[in-house]
Structure 1
Amino acid sequence: MSNVVLFTGDETGLVKKSRLKDDAQAVVSACQAPRQSRQAGIRSLCWISPPEGASEALFASLSCEGVVKTWESEAARPPKCVGQLATTAASQEGQPVALEFVSSFDKLSVVDSAGSVTVLTPPVGQETTENAGLEPSFQAKGPVEAAAWLSKHLATGGRENDLVVYDMQSEAPVFEALNVPHDELDLRVPIWVTAIDYANGKGNEIVTGTGHKHVRFYDVRAQRQ
């Protein structure tokens, strides 16, 4: 196996760089976290497009307390935080679920468990815990346990909240899944979406996983499961 560098975040807030070689994994460096705690634990990581003039790739992290940080990924040194911004994704209403860089807008998008969607510019050179500079967000149907983005579309789902696909520009749903028919005992099948991904780059095919160990495929164009 050729040299592969992985960036991971742990449950105490450390962002680590690991190297895979010859089927072995070794942590070669880790960021110097100001504090380690469950609240600072990393919920999600994603690559982002670097600003004009940047010389290296950047990635972003989302913590359990709703703080978004931007990191440099220079191979010769540990991950370095180059900006952070607090969001409202860790409120009494919901907890952070997922983070993604939406290339269609050159923005980061954060979803919390209550369905609140926040869009923000990647914080580079910012060090603030205030909710400053956040762009208008919209409300998706909650509760949310899983989310996936493709182009301008956001797909969400959760417990008793089946798959819904939103157009982030119009903030309106463009596809809403229906539950499967009753089982062989004529009992309603519980809804519990725990994973979502797009099956192709066109966005018309979506796959979900459930907390009941079911995998479901959806064809958005045909408006059917």
Structure 2
Amino acid sequence: MGDTSRLCSVWLGSETGILKGVSLSRKQAFNFCNTSHLSRDQEVRALCWGDPAESEVLVGSVDGTVKTFSVEKGAFTDTRRCGEPADGCFAGLALSGSALVTCAERGALRVWREDSSEPAAELHAGDNVCRMRQSAAHRDRVATGGKENGLKIWDLERPEQPVFAAKNLRDDWLDLRRPQWVRDMAFIPDSDKVVTCTGYHQVHVLDPSTSLRDQAETKRTAAERQREELEDAVRGRSQGTQSEDAVRGRSQGTQSEDAVRGCSQRTQSEDAVRGRSQGTQSGDAVRGRSQGTWSEDAVRGRSQRTQSEVSCMLGGT
């Protein structure tokens, strides 16, 4: 087994307690386990190197035990208990000098010395811890984070308070609180900055040397960008609707004014027609009056002529 384990460059853990080694050169995977009975109680939840030479792998199981696997021998060489199942599953393992550092989901972060069954130091990192990572540059510093549990950086030499605790994210555009869910983190090499990824598909870069909140958001998913574009579109649509309403109101006002003008013009036309009609009727009346006068004059003339004729006839007689 030692020959095959030395070929492996990638190590994985399964939910049945099997440690898997992968040889990239041979494109093969090998299984390693220290029991013939596989159980989910032996599920592997955390891995880390057991020495600087990377000749050992520490395997944290769901039952609170940490096993030591020798890459040279290809077998498990030691098992120690570093917590209880009530503490939750392991969220991370680290090696600081000769001491083992463990962190459980319910926030119990402990430092274990060699050949000791009791932790040398213990602190509470908050509830719902998803991940603990160690700084490669400063081996006595670890970072923790989880659901509604922001990024914290701890100095194991002074574990009373975190040396850095990230503040809440800024509220969204509706002034609603944005939830936190740190799923993993990493210390950026040659820098004091820490990068985190969240359960909401966000990546944040934080600088513990500054007091700014949410210093830089370096990457966002397409879904978040689409949501922001949709919000902008909704705002623009609302403004456009108001403008359209104003245009409609102006149009309706213009139509009303045109209707008033049309009504006024029709009224004037009707008045003019009525005046014309009345004028015609008056003219007709005048003409009728004149014709009547002429008729009367003709009758009078006729009568006078008749009287003259009668006088002439009598005189002749």
Equivalent residue letter for 2:140: K
Equivalent residue letter for 2:66: V
**Does structure 1 conserve the Cα–Cα contact (< 8 Å) formed by 2:45 and 2:89?**
no
Q: Which runs of 5+ in 1 are unaligned?
A: 124-130
* Residue 80 (structure 2) aligns with: 85
* Residue 131 (structure 2) aligns with: 146
Once the two structures are superposed, the pairs formed by residues 128-167 of structure 1 within 5 Å of their partners are 132-150=117-135, 151-167=139-155
Q: Which runs of 5+ in 2 are unaligned?
A: 1-6, 216-317
Equivalent residue letter for 1:119: V
**Does structure 1 conserve the Cα–Cα contact (< 8 Å) formed by 2:17 and 2:33?**
no
* Residue 15 (structure 2) aligns with: 11
TM-score (norm 1): 0.81
Q: Distance in 2 between matches of 1:134 and 1:188?
A: 38
**Does structure 2 conserve the Cα–Cα contact (< 8 Å) formed by 1:116 and 1:137?**
yes
**Does structure 2 conserve the Cα–Cα contact (< 8 Å) formed by 1:116 and 1:138?**
yes
Q: Distance in 2 between matches of 1:165 and 1:112?
A: 16
Out of 91, 94, 98, which is 2:92 matched to?
98
**Does structure 2 conserve the Cα–Cα contact (< 8 Å) formed by 1:40 and 1:64?**
yes
Which secondary structure does the structure 2 equivalent of 1:39 belong to?
Answer: helix
Equivalent residue letter for 1:185: L
* Residue 281 (structure 2) aligns with: none
Could you tell me the percent identity over the aligned residues?
A: 28
Equivalent residue letter for 1:97: A
**Does structure 2 conserve the Cα–Cα contact (< 8 Å) formed by 1:142 and 1:157?**
no
Which structure shows the bigger proportion of residues in strand conformation?
1
Equivalent residue letter for 1:71: F
Which secondary structure does the structure 2 equivalent of 1:28 belong to?
Answer: strand
Once the two structures are superposed, residues 93-147 of structure 1 have per-residue CA deviations (whole angstroms, 9 ceiling, x without a partner) of 4332111112xx3211110011101212467xxxxxxx82543322222221111
**Does structure 1 conserve the Cα–Cα contact (< 8 Å) formed by 2:69 and 2:76?**
yes
Structure 1 segments of 4 or more deviating over 4 A?
Answer: none
Out of 56, 59, 62, which is 1:61 matched to?
59
Which structure shows the bigger proportion of residues in helix conformation?
2
Q: Distance in 2 between matches of 1:48 and 1:97?
A: 17
**Does structure 1 conserve the Cα–Cα contact (< 8 Å) formed by 2:66 and 2:81?**
yes
**Does structure 1 conserve the Cα–Cα contact (< 8 Å) formed by 2:8 and 2:21?**
no
Equivalent residue letter for 2:199: G
Say what the alpha-carbon RMSD is for the aligned residues: 2.3
Q: Distance in 2 between matches of 1:32 and 1:116?
A: 27
Out of 91, 104, 107, which is 1:112 matched to?
104
**Does structure 2 conserve the Cα–Cα contact (< 8 Å) formed by 1:11 and 1:42?**
yes
TM-score (norm 2): 0.59
Q: Distance in 2 between matches of 1:81 and 1:9?
A: 14
